[in-house]
Structures are given as structure tokens and as C-alpha cells.
Chain A
Amino acid sequence: MSIVEMIERLGALVIDSVGQLGAFVLFLLSAVIYVFLPPFKPRLWIRQIRIIGADSLFLIILIGGFTGMVLGLQGYNTLRRFGSDGALGTVVALVLVRELGPVLAAIMITARAGSAMAAELGSMQSTEQIDALTVMAINPVQYLVSPRMLAGVFSFPLLTSIFDVVGIYGGYMVGVGLMGAPSGAYFNGIAANMSRHDVMTGLYKALVFGVVVMWVCCYKGYHAERMATGVSRATTEAVVLSSVLILAFDYFLTSILL
């Protein structure tokens, strides 16, 4: 391969990557704009809130509970070494509300609802259902993507809040109920040391994760290749990219909001 060919290939790769990034960003912009343009379809929003939000509730409660229980167990054993087991409630609540709640809830919703969304849109793409919408003069981004985006923005903070509350009670059950940490100090510590800023930090993160997950999963599904492996590839890419972006955005948001 000559140097000219190598430069040509590199140039083509750069142009292709910039083009894809542009399409990715334009997809988000059009989905957001169509949320505010008629026709408004509240039944589509409610349906997506049910699928993304209500249907994920059991999983969020389950994972939130176990996460809190592990934090209670580890936190009690660690804090007891320093004679600080009275701070267990504060530690569990801060870790959950500021970090683990938004991140784990977002990853769980990605695994459950995001993957299903990518697969559904991918399947619709491969069977020409999205083309059918276009031919019927129905904007497919407005019909399929915008309601999911709105549902994500609405559901993620709510599910994260539930995750946090269940986790805090899970930590209480194990830390106080099983291990014997002081009962009164658990909730009093939370009330005394947790600020409104801590809670809002977690909710802001959940909001951003909601947009990121819906954006990535819808984009990957919507642009799935029309071949046998297209849907599975789109689903895998959606889950992997969403998870990576959740952690990356978590770092940047923590830096900004700390």
C-alpha cells in the first residue's frame, strides 16, 4: 500500500466518522424539536412511560434493594473498624444518591428497556415498517423517537429516586437489622448530612442519562442494517455504547456538579 493510498483511506475514515457523528447529533436535535411540534400524541408518551418506566419498576426495586444491602454490609464492616458505624446511613445514602443510584438505574434500564427499544426499532427498520410510516406521511422520528425521548426524560429521574429510597432501606435492613448498627443514627445521619444539592446532583445525572440512553438506543435501532445480523448488532451496540456513555457522562457531570 502506497503512502497516498494510506492517506486516502485515513481521509475517508475521518470523513465517514465526522459524517456519522453529524448524523448522530442531528438525530437527537430532530427528536427533541419534534417533541414540541404538533401533532401531539399523549397516548404515545404514556405508552412509552409505561414501557420504560412502570415496566422497569420491579427490576429497579430488586437491584436497588440488593445494592443497598451490599452497601449496608460493606459499609458497616468498614466503618466499625474506625468506630464510625453511626455514619452508616450517611455513607449509604450519599453513595446511592450521588453515584450508584443514577448510574446503576440507568444501566439497568438500558439492559431492560433500551435493548428492547433498539431491537424493536431495528426490526421495524428491517421489515420496512419505518418506510411504511414515511409513505403514510407520518414522520417516523416524531412518531417513534420523540415519545421515547420524552419518556426517558420523565422516567429516569423517577426510577432513580425509587432506586435510592429502596437502596437506603436495604442498607438499613442489613446494617441496622442484621449487623446491629445504631438505629437512630442511620436516618438522623442522613437528615443531618445530606443536602438538597446532593439529591439534585443525582437527579440531574438521571435526567442526562435518560436522554443519552434513549438517544443511543433509538439511533442504533433506527439505523439498523437491513440484514439478518442487523438487529442483533444494533442491540449490542446500543447497550455497549449506552453503558460506556453513562459512565463517561457520570465522570464529567460529577466534575461539574461536585
Chain B
Amino acid sequence: MSQPETINHPANAPTPDAAPNGNAIEVRDLHKRFGHQQVLDGVTLDFPAGQITTIVGPSGSGKTVLLKHLNLLMRPDSGTIVIDGVDVTKVGGRALDAVREKFGMLFQAGALFDSMSVFDNVAFPLVEKTRLSEKEISEQVHETLEAVGLEGMESKFPSQMSGGMQKRAALARALVRRPKILMLDEPTTGLDPTRTGAIHDLIRRTQENFHLTVVMVSHDVPEVFQISDRIAFLHNGRTRLNGTAAEVMAASDEVFKRFLAGKASGEENETALAG
């Protein structure tokens, strides 16, 4: 197995929320094993503050497992994850909850509460985790729904909405507490190409409007490169490429080229099998 190739380190000016080196999240030598399967095999990766970093890779490369470590749903076997200056592999309980409150998460299927209306779904984090008045909650929910283009849909239930609208509502719920970091797990899964483009535009616009650090796992290759500042290519549980979208696209890595070609021809699993 070849060593991970970091094409270029970003020269980004640190934002006030970022670590001194300008990274909102730093992952070092992350390992995770399920039974006999080594899913993460020493992932090392930086997520610069105020940028969109997209994790791509063939099926089984460890993208989703890595994201589940970043959003603190899983604990690694070894390695460190530093989020906003806190090593989350060494803390628990309330300290972990304090880190969780810094980020919003958009799940693959939205994960909206189907027994609640759009308004109640978006208001949920505010109702449960803040002491805002009803009026303040209502204002914040309407403002966030407007930002994702869902004004007037407050009373709808998830089952009454299209897939694209559900993603928007879930994005509004992730944004309503104004997080510093937004994590997206394959946000365009199940959407047609038109809606995929619209969601990509929305992600870029939202990142700029809310000054977010965005971590995204996506299979929309190469379309997602257009809205990404940086790309991390995972293969066999390791970071194989890491750089700006242009740098990664220009890389001479054979595995990445096979991955791109497999995607282009619709042979999604070819590289996964080959790898």
C-alpha cells in the first residue's frame, strides 16, 4: 500500500473559530476495525476552517465510517480527532456534547422526525437545547427556512414533501443553531440531476452565507468538485489524495483515475473490487 499523498497544504488565513494552523478539524492516524475488517487504516486529514472539504472514494473505502467518527457517533480504535481545538477521542459526557453543539449534521436520508411538521423539526434543536422564547424560536426557524428556500412550507410533514425538499428541511434543522461546522453525508443521494445541482448550489451558498466549515461525503464525482475547495480521496481506509479540487483532478494517481473512469462509465464497484 502506498503512502497517502498530500498534494498541497492550504494557505488559508485562519478564521476566528479555527485552530492556530487554520484547521477546524484535524484527523491523525485514525484506525477502526470491525471484526476482521480494517475499515480505517491510518487516516490523516485536515479540514481547513471556512472551506468545503469533500471526501470521495469507492464503496467500502471508509468514507461514511470516517464521517461517523467526525460527528462523534463512533469512537476510533486509535488515532486522534481534534475539533475546534478539542481532542474528542479523549473526552466524554458533557465535554463531548459541548463539541457536538458546534456542528450541524445532514444525514443521507435527512433523518427528519416523521411525526413532526417541518416547523417542529427545524425548531427541535432550539426547543430542546436553548431557552429561547417561542417568538424567538419562530423567528429563527422562519429565517433559516427562508435561507434554504422553504418559506411557506412550515406546516408540511416530511411524508408530504419531495426528496429535495426533505434535504432542504434537514439542512435547515442542521443550520438553525448557527453551527461552526456543517457535516453532510451524501446529501444528494436519491435525487435527480437537476435537484442534485440545486442542492450543490444551496450548499455552496449556505457555506458562504453562514461562514461554515463544511465536511461532505459525496459520490457525485466529478460534479461535486465544482463546489468543493478541497478533495480528500479515500482508498482502502487511507487518505490517498488530498488537495484542492484542481490539484486532485490533475493528479496522476492511477487508482484515482480508475475511480473516476469507473464512475463515468457507471461501473461504480469496479475500483472498489480492483482495490
- Asked if B4 is at the interface (CB within 8 A of a chain A CB), the reply is no
Closest to A136 in B: B125
- Interface membership of B139, Cβ < 8 A: no
Give the residues in chain B near A129, CB-CB below 8 Å: 111-114
A132 with B107: CB separation less than 8 A: yes
Query: A131, A132, A143: which has the most chain B beta carbons within 10 Å?
Result: A132
Chain A residue nearest to B105 in the complex (CB): A135
Which of A127, A134, A138 is the one whose CB lies under 8 Å from B109?
A: A127
Which B residues touch A7, using CB under 8 A?
Answer: none
Q: Assess the B128–A136 pair: CB atoms within 8 A.
A: yes
For the complex, give the distance between the alpha carbons of A143 and B114 in Å: 16
Knowing A134-B73, A135-B73, A135-B105 touch, does A128 contact B111 (C-beta < 8 A)?
yes
Contact A136 B129 (CB under 8 A): yes
Contact B109 A137 (CB under 8 A): no
Tell me, rounded to whole Å, the shortest Cβ–Cβ distance linking B64 to chain A.
11
CA distance in complex: A223, B97 (Å): 22
Count residues of chain B with CB under 8 A from any CB of chain A.
Answer: 20
Across the interface, which residues of A come within 8 angstroms of B140, CB to CB?
none
CA distance A137 to B126 in the complex (A): 12
User: Chain A nearest CB: distance from B65 CB in Å?
Assistant: 13
Instruction: Tell me the nearest residue of chain A to B109, going by C-beta.
Output: A127
**Residue of B97, B101, B108 ringed by the most chain A CB atoms within 10 A:** B97
When distances are taken between beta carbons in the complex, the residues of chain B under 8 Å from A135 are 71-73, 100, 103, 105
Cβ-defined contact, B129 with A138, below 8 A: yes
Q: Determine if A128 and B109 form an interchain contact, defined as CB atoms under 8 angstroms apart.
A: yes
A interface footprint on B115-156 (CB within 8 Å = 1, 0 otherwise): 000000000110011000000000000000000000000000
CA distance A143 to B129 in the complex (A): 12
Q: Mark A23-38, 1 if CB is under 8 A from B, else 0.
A: 0000000000000000
In the complex, the answer to whether B101 meets A137 with C-beta atoms within 8 Å is: yes
| B111-A131 in contact (CB<8A) | yes
Q: Is there an interface contact between A136 and B109, defined as CB atoms closer than 8 Å?
A: no
* CB-based contact A131/B107 at 8 Å: yes
Within 8 A of A (CB), among B40-74: 71-73
Q: Which residues of B contact A127 (CB under 8 A)?
A: 109, 111, 114
Residues of A within 8 A of B111 (CB): 127-129, 131-132
9 contacts between A and B (CB under 8 A): A124-B113, A128-B107, A128-B109, A129-B112, A131-B111, A132-B111, A135-B71, A136-B100, A138-B128
Interface residues, chain A, with chain B CB atoms under 8 Å away: 123-124, 127-129, 131-132, 134-138, 143
Closest 8 A/B residue pairs (Cβ): A137-B97, A132-B111, A137-B100, A128-B111, A135-B105, A128-B107, A129-B111, A136-B125
